[in-house]
Structure 1
Amino acid sequence: MGIPITEVAEVIRSKNSGPYELTMDIIFKDFDSYENVKQKNIINKKLISSLYQIPEEDIISIINFDPAKAIKITIKRPLVAGAVGESDVYGAQQHAPLLGIEV
């Protein structure tokens, strides 16, 4: 069993990246933690698909951004921003599933 990602990440957030996409960022506290998660490929399409209950085809990208010790995940929005029934037009509350990751 691993440790909670919240212990090694400084920031876990989500944001709107246009009307059709959401982006989540995991920014690590230090380069060692970032490299560990990156090398083990913990943040992958299978995991994100499971956490967000979406098909892997709806995951646009998972990018390791070394200079910022960050992982950026972009997915298709389940509903277009501002559509009837859509409850988070800014995408600011969509990172919660990431908080349960263990590394």
Structure 2
Amino acid sequence: MRRSDMPRLRDIAKLIRTKNAGPFQLTLDIMFPDQRSYEHVVASGVINKPAMARFFKVDEAAVRLFNYAPGNAIKVTVPRLVTCGDPADTDLFGGQQFGSLVDIEVPPLD
């Protein structure tokens, strides 16, 4: 399979969003329509602490990642680079930070 033919996270997930988790933290929620989709993405390893640290430009040690099987969801929490409400804050509610995460390619499982 050519890399460009791989499904993207947006093709598999039901919901991908970011939002504030208080004034100093941002949370990413990735929710899947079923257990099979959830387990496929978790097993692929594309959502991991190093990748999320690079994406959000934070120290890997500050990334908290939770795989929540009962809800078919992955949650990632990171520190905000700018405190919510700061004059330099360009996204007061943190709702636009997921952007290009939707394009993460998810390899097929063997």
Q: Same fold (TM over 0.5)?
A: yes
- Counterparts of 1:71 and 1:44, CA distance in 2: 10
**Deviating 4+ runs (over 4 angstroms):** none
- How many equivalent residue pairs? 102
Cross-structure match for 1:80: 83
Shift of 1:67: 1.4
Name which of 87, 90, 95 aligns with 2:93: 90
| Amino acid of the structure 2 residue aligned with 1:79 | V
Indicate the percent of aligned positions where both proteins have the same amino acid: 36
Q: Which amino acid in structure 2 is aligned with residue 34 of structure 1?
A: Y
Q: CA deviation at 1:64?
A: 0.6
Larger Rg: 2
Equivalent in 46, 52, 60 of residue 48 of structure 1: 52
Partner of 2:68: 65
2:34 pairs with 1:35? no
Letter in 1 for 2:41: V
CA RMSD of aligned residues (A): 1.2
**Hey, what's the Cα distance between the residues in 2 that align with 1:32 and 1:57?**
29
Q: What is the TM-score when the length of structure 2 is the normalising length?
A: 0.85
Name the CA distance, whole Å, in 1 between partners of 2:86 and 2:61.
22
Of Structure 1 and Structure 2, the greater strand share is in 1
Which ranges of structure 1 fall in alignment gaps of 5 or more residues? none
Structure 2 unmatched ranges of 5 or more = none
